[in-house]
Structure 1
Amino acid sequence: MCRACVSHLITNALNFGLQAATPSRRQFMAYGAGAAALTMAASRAAFAADSGADTIFRNGTILPMAGPHHAVEAIAVGGGGKILAVGSDAEIAGLKTSATKIVDLQGRTLLPGFVDPHHHTCGAALFAELLTDVGYTKYPTRAALTEALRAMAAKTPPGQWIIGCNFDNLLQGGDFSMTELDAISTDHPIFIWYVNMHDAAANAAAFRLAKIPDDVGVLPGGGHFGRGPDGKFNGLVYEEPAMLKFVMLAVPPITPQLVGKALVDYTRQVAAAGNTTLHEPGTIMPEWVESLAKLSNSLSIRMSASLMADAIEASKAFAALGVGARATHFPNSRFSLYGIKIVGDGSNQTETGAQTRPYLKSASKGATNFSAAEFKQMCAAAKAVGWPIQIHCNGDATIDDALNAIEAVYGAHSSHGVNRIEHSTMARPDQIARMKALGVQPSFLMNHVFLYGAAYRDQLFGPERAAFMDPAAACVHEGVPFTLHTDAPCSPVGPLRLIQAAVTRRCEIDKSIVGHAQAISVAHALKATTIDAARQIGLGDTIGSLEKGKEGDLVILESDPFKVDPDTIMAIKVSETWVGGAKMFG
């Protein structure tokens, strides 16, 4: 359910204002030397800071998420933003000076800051700034949405585009058709972006302006257009190459100032939800990296990212900073790179995820975006530079191809870092076992269960297959590390919602429990959103748990997730969020 190559959509369609020339290898050799010096200086500062704490947190439940589940009494953070000590009140008291700030938790619960390992930060920020949200939370019925679009058309000058985002075909009445959109307006080109980011719908005016020929076939990269029984366009648009034909016309240019504002505003919102680190999976361009690294210090979170497979050659410029099992850090910033991303298939919600068995009420099995040989070629190119791989797989057929490619290229337990299967929505039991054998880790979009569990059961896969969707408990049983992510803006921001969904397996739409056997404990869900998520983006040695020498990234909750009704975990109030020892929210 991730967005296919949104980096191209933003760059080509939005004239992204942060672009700079791709840095040369010589420039990054200089950056590498600077990074080494910065690391040495930071080590000296941390050693000197042992003489006293900048901030001490105490008088609450403190869960370090390091080793077995246990609570400690206090934590001290130094002036450089790193954790000085975690332990008893008596142990931490020795670090108090006259300048130390004492944060009285007053019984609240303190945890490592939440890490979202698959979150389209740039795209979500710009969508919120530029596009009109027509999603389920605003318009839960088709009638309400249609009325809103008609009102929008009445206020928009003829000929100008109407662009909506976050439309949910499963929860808002099914796919839009060209006929339906034409009934809303023939004077305006209309483009409605689905929340899964792989699909869209457009009216006839939009097709004319985009100059889509009647005899068009499948575009390079898998883009294609839906057709009705009569062979004519039905308004549906699938995958990035096809959507680009419309987006490049529909979305206006933006300025660097707007980009900066959008990211600053958006990261404030995600910090308020308890996030301290977001990983942008493949949806940035190499030429943005330098500017994003500079901008990162103005954001309320740490920003991690991977590059797309078509940027492997350009990624070589960053190798001087270090490529491999640990993230590539950019000096004097909160920005890092980790891995190469491949979008293997589409979305199960629109039956474009590639399955080995047909969808429930269809003869279709979906299709992968690449051949088996192409998967292996991209993996080999990434490995040659030193990157691990992240492969988007919603269907089990795609997971087969992805694991085949990883085994053929990286072998088992790669020294290049964590190879990931993104989403792994319909992974089979044998595939989880194979991931264990290869040292591959899945990341689950647990909001699939929260929002679409009933639809997966009743409309897409049937009860048996849906019961094993997002199989977190199978990973616990096999001893396979896994993570939970939002894929925002493809699902709502908020780690506590992910934790609740993983623990209860309750679908919000009809309150039913989907796949009770795949429910996991609160402890496992917290690991999947803290330390294990940090490890999946190469930052396990710096964030994800509260340990001496790590960054002072933490979240304070009003209630303890272990002590509330599991069905109310997402209602826990986030009290404060801290990044590098500095309060970002609260």
Structure 2
Amino acid sequence: MCRACVSPLIAHPSLFDQPLGFAGLQPIAPTRRGFMALSTAGLLGASLPLIGATRARAASDGTVDTIFKGGTIVPVAGAPAAEAIAVSGGKIVKLGAASDIMALATANTKIIDLQGRSLLPGLIDPHNHTVLSALYLELLTDIGYLKNKTREDVLNNLRQLVANAPEGQWVLVSNFDNLLQGGDLSREVLDSISTKHAIFVWYTNGHDACVNSLALQLAKIPEDIGELPGGSHFGRGPDGKLNGLVYEESGMLKVISAGMPKITPQLATKAINTFLQSVAASGNTLVHEPGTLKSEWIEPFTKIAAQAPVRTSASLMYEDIKGFEPYRKLGLGARAAQLPDTLFMLYGVKIVGDGSNQTRTGAQTQPYLNETFSGTTNFDAAQMKEMVADVKAAGLPVLIHCNGDRTIDIALDAIEAGYGSSSEFGINRIEHATMLRQNQIERMKKLNVEPSFLMNHVTLYGAAYRDQLFGPERANFMDPAGACAKADLRFTLHSDSPCSPVGSLRLMQTAVTRICEIDNSVIGADQTVTAQRALEAITIDAARQLGLADRLGSLESGKDADFTILEDNPLTVDPSKISAIKVSETWVAGEKKFG
């Protein structure tokens, strides 16, 4: 049974209105009027000249397009602090003293006064399930913890959705968190909400759901239904009757197929565009989708990526590795391969090694708190070595999802057997690395393997890890960024959207404070890092882990002009206020995309 970090259920082929559901995706017409206008334009499918062509024209005439000055310019790495920065043709020309940069201006140069704001390299989310997040948010209503703090809030939200739903329409909701919102729901509880509207509640872990009696009836689920393929099954109460809980993809698909509208190209186009606009509004200029973009979606996805407000990037699943073959000519390997006339790139190969610690399916070397079981890996050591060897033979880096420390052991054994300590084909990564041990940090350093932490684990689940899953000692070492910093092991921070909210500033704040917002406790005070180190994790190190260190992640002459402009400086504000800093503008390839 494979529990990925996010279930691909929402992108199952049966939910689309045509065999290659995304084949009809249309390019988005760019707009200067912000989020809502561009979302509307997405429905029109208009086509304008591609970004690459615009950049080529601007770079050829030798002029400086834009100069930014009058604020704090944070280069992060590779350049001294600057008073001004000049951009031309989508590239950084020079940064330094304002007088030197202004000397490059011509009558056609646009001068932007930052008015005291802070300009940083564009923020990068190296693990974000873009397409799944887009469809998930478009088709289901979010009732998660950030919107409903208590059990009663959840139930009241459901009552309101039922009251507003037209007769016969299913109420489809997502992001319910059994750890933070009062435990599992049940058929009985949902029946008390409605017996006239079918209700489907998808858990935030992506692998569980709860439905009411009408949903079971309309989906034609018999009371005596047994186990389905992939370990999927329907929960039962003490009386042996179905209790409304549904586990794993095939069971959830059987139910949701009866109530979800078919995904059309128009709907998918609108959903992806809306989501990427929210990404830009959060300050991110690049998101990387690890494993959930299918190879047959690459070509149609480029139609959207060509006009998207942010850069997009993807790795393919191990099972889909042959899907890279048509793109070999682009130079796949240590450096990300960019598709022509678009800001969409391809990188590595993902393997899902275990499940989620929150559902006790991450594989540990010690049992979970007050339990006798320790989770299971999706593959044994021999299988993992064979898979990693295949990725290495393809000349690509590997990204291995590992929430439990036992899975990390198996993954590192496989990487050492396949790559040794070589990073010739790019940086090999351990995704999440939630329960990483000190000796594994030292081993990763020797093997040139790097972790990427889902730091929202700490702010959302730190108390649950401490009190329900692992106990204080083990929980205090979860997502151990501080220990990595002391060992000089570079790391990145990611959102794993839709498993947690987009926004790299939130990740940065948690890395610096380690505060769990559930009870305001500090989870592992010795695992905090400096604001500078946390900023590097969402800029230059994220760029390196995606094969883009020569193009993105720091403000240096010749690099691409991707900027995030903030109302305050995250390096100097109260660390507990970092996530509250307003994103003023985002610029990608020298063009303003949000603001």
Using the size of structure 1 for normalisation, the TM-score is 0.90
Aligned equivalent of 2:507: 498
* Cα deviation, residue 202, structure 1: 3.1
Secondary structure of the corresponding residue to residue 420 of structure 1? strand
Equivalences for 1:289-438 in 2 at 5 Å?
Answer: 289-438=298-447
Aligned equivalent of 1:269: 278
The Cα offsets for residues 135-172 of structure 1, whole Å up to 9 and x where unpaired, read as 11222211221233244345556765332101111111
When residues 8 and 405 of structure 1 are mapped into structure 2, their CA distance, relative to the original with a 3 A threshold, is farther
Q: Which amino acid aligns with 2:323?
A: A
* Cα deviation, residue 251, structure 1: 2.3
* Cα deviation, residue 241, structure 1: 4.4
Cα distance in 2 for residues equivalent to 1:358 and 1:431: 18
Cα distance in 2 for residues equivalent to 1:167 and 1:367: 24
Cα distance in 2 for residues equivalent to 1:249 and 1:354: 34
Cα distance in 2 for residues equivalent to 1:367 and 1:232: 28
Report the more deviating stretch, 430-439 or 113-122.
Answer: 430-439
| Structure 1 gaps, min length 5 | 22-37
Aligned equivalent of 1:106: 115
Equivalences for 1:381-530 in 2 at 5 Å?
Answer: 381-530=390-539
Cα distance in 2 for residues equivalent to 1:393 and 1:551: 32
Report the more deviating stretch, 10-19 or 554-563.
Answer: 10-19
Cα distance in 2 for residues equivalent to 1:382 and 1:20: 31
Asked if 1:9 corresponds to 2:11, the answer is yes
Contact 2:52–2:341 at 8 Å: present in 1 too?
A: no
* Cα deviation, residue 389, structure 1: 1.3
Aligned equivalent of 1:138: 147
* Cα deviation, residue 224, structure 1: 4.9
* Cα deviation, residue 327, structure 1: 0.8
Cα distance in 1 for residues equivalent to 2:214 and 2:233: 18
Secondary structure of the corresponding residue to residue 334 of structure 2? coil
Secondary structure of the corresponding residue to residue 284 of structure 1? coil
The Cα offsets for residues 385-425 of structure 1, whole Å up to 9 and x where unpaired, read as 22211111111122122222222222222312111111111
Equivalences for 1:225-236 in 2 at 5 Å?
Answer: 225-226=234-235, 233-236=242-245
Aligned equivalent of 1:31: none
The Cα offsets for residues 86-129 of structure 1, whole Å up to 9 and x where unpaired, read as 22223323321110011111221110010000111112222222
When residues 54 and 155 of structure 1 are mapped into structure 2, their CA distance, relative to the original with a 3 A threshold, is closer
Cα distance in 1 for residues equivalent to 2:382 and 2:216: 34
Aligned equivalent of 1:18: 22
Aligned equivalent of 2:31: none
The Cα offsets for residues 265-287 of structure 1, whole Å up to 9 and x where unpaired, read as 22222111110001111111111
* Cα deviation, residue 540, structure 1: 1.5
Report the more deviating stretch, 116-125 or 226-235.
Answer: 226-235
Contact 1:13–1:253 at 8 Å: present in 2 too?
A: yes
Q: Which amino acid aligns with 1:56?
A: I
Report the more deviating stretch, 202-211 or 171-180.
Answer: 202-211
Secondary structure of the corresponding residue to residue 333 of structure 2? coil
* Identity, % of aligned positions: 56
Cα distance in 2 for residues equivalent to 1:322 and 1:230: 60
The Cα offsets for residues 508-530 of structure 1, whole Å up to 9 and x where unpaired, read as 11111110000000110000000
Contact 1:14–1:248 at 8 Å: present in 2 too?
A: no
Cα distance in 2 for residues equivalent to 1:495 and 1:152: 31
Contact 1:198–1:347 at 8 Å: present in 2 too?
A: no
Asked if 1:53 corresponds to 2:57, the answer is no
Q: Which amino acid aligns with 1:58?
A: K
Q: Which amino acid aligns with 1:12?
A: S
The Cα offsets for residues 426-459 of structure 1, whole Å up to 9 and x where unpaired, read as 1111111121121111111111111111121112
Aligned equivalent of 2:556: 547
Aligned equivalent of 1:63: 74
Cα distance in 2 for residues equivalent to 1:77 and 1:369: 48
Asked if 1:194 corresponds to 2:203, the answer is yes
Report the more deviating stretch, 234-243 or 56-65.
Answer: 234-243
Cα distance in 1 for residues equivalent to 2:152 and 2:491: 40
* Cα deviation, residue 473, structure 1: 0.9
Cα distance in 2 for residues equivalent to 1:466 and 1:562: 27
* Cα deviation, residue 214, structure 1: 4.5
Q: Which amino acid aligns with 2:594?
A: F
Match of 2:179 among 157, 170, 180: 170
Asked if 1:76 corresponds to 2:86, the answer is yes
Report the more deviating stretch, 104-113 or 260-269.
Answer: 260-269
Cα distance in 2 for residues equivalent to 1:263 and 1:488: 13
Contact 2:174–2:201 at 8 Å: present in 1 too?
A: yes
Cα distance in 1 for residues equivalent to 2:166 and 2:73: 56
Cα distance in 2 for residues equivalent to 1:218 and 1:368: 20
Asked if 1:580 corresponds to 2:582, the answer is no
* Cα deviation, residue 577, structure 1: 0.8
Cα distance in 1 for residues equivalent to 2:121 and 2:55: 21
Report the more deviating stretch, 383-392 or 457-466.
Answer: 383-392
Aligned equivalent of 2:37: none
* Cα deviation, residue 13, structure 1: 2.2
Contact 1:57–1:104 at 8 Å: present in 2 too?
A: yes
When residues 240 and 435 of structure 1 are mapped into structure 2, their CA distance, relative to the original with a 3 A threshold, is farther
Cα distance in 2 for residues equivalent to 1:362 and 1:230: 25
Report the more deviating stretch, 302-311 or 357-366.
Answer: 357-366
* Cα deviation, residue 558, structure 1: 1.1
Equivalences for 1:190-269 in 2 at 5 Å?
Answer: 190-207=199-216, 209=219, 211=221, 214=224, 216-217=226-227, 219-220=229-230, 223-226=232-235, 233-269=242-278
Q: Which amino acid aligns with 1:480?
A: L
* Cα deviation, residue 543, structure 1: 1.1
Count of aligned residue pairs for this structure pair: 566
Contact 1:413–1:440 at 8 Å: present in 2 too?
A: no
Asked if 1:557 corresponds to 2:566, the answer is yes
Q: Which amino acid aligns with 1:19?
A: A
Cα distance in 1 for residues equivalent to 2:309 and 2:283: 11
Q: Which amino acid aligns with 1:54?
A: D
Cα distance in 1 for residues equivalent to 2:268 and 2:123: 24
Contact 1:20–1:288 at 8 Å: present in 2 too?
A: no
Contact 1:131–1:164 at 8 Å: present in 2 too?
A: yes
RMSD: 2.7
Using the size of structure 2 for normalisation, the TM-score is 0.88
Q: Which amino acid aligns with 1:533?
A: A
Secondary structure of the corresponding residue to residue 229 of structure 2? coil
When residues 198 and 422 of structure 1 are mapped into structure 2, their CA distance, relative to the original with a 3 A threshold, is farther
* Cα deviation, residue 82, structure 1: 0.9
Contact 2:174–2:202 at 8 Å: present in 1 too?
A: yes
Match of 2:138 among 129, 141, 147: 129
Secondary structure of the corresponding residue to residue 285 of structure 2? strand
Cα distance in 2 for residues equivalent to 1:507 and 1:39: 41
* Cα deviation, residue 382, structure 1: 2.4
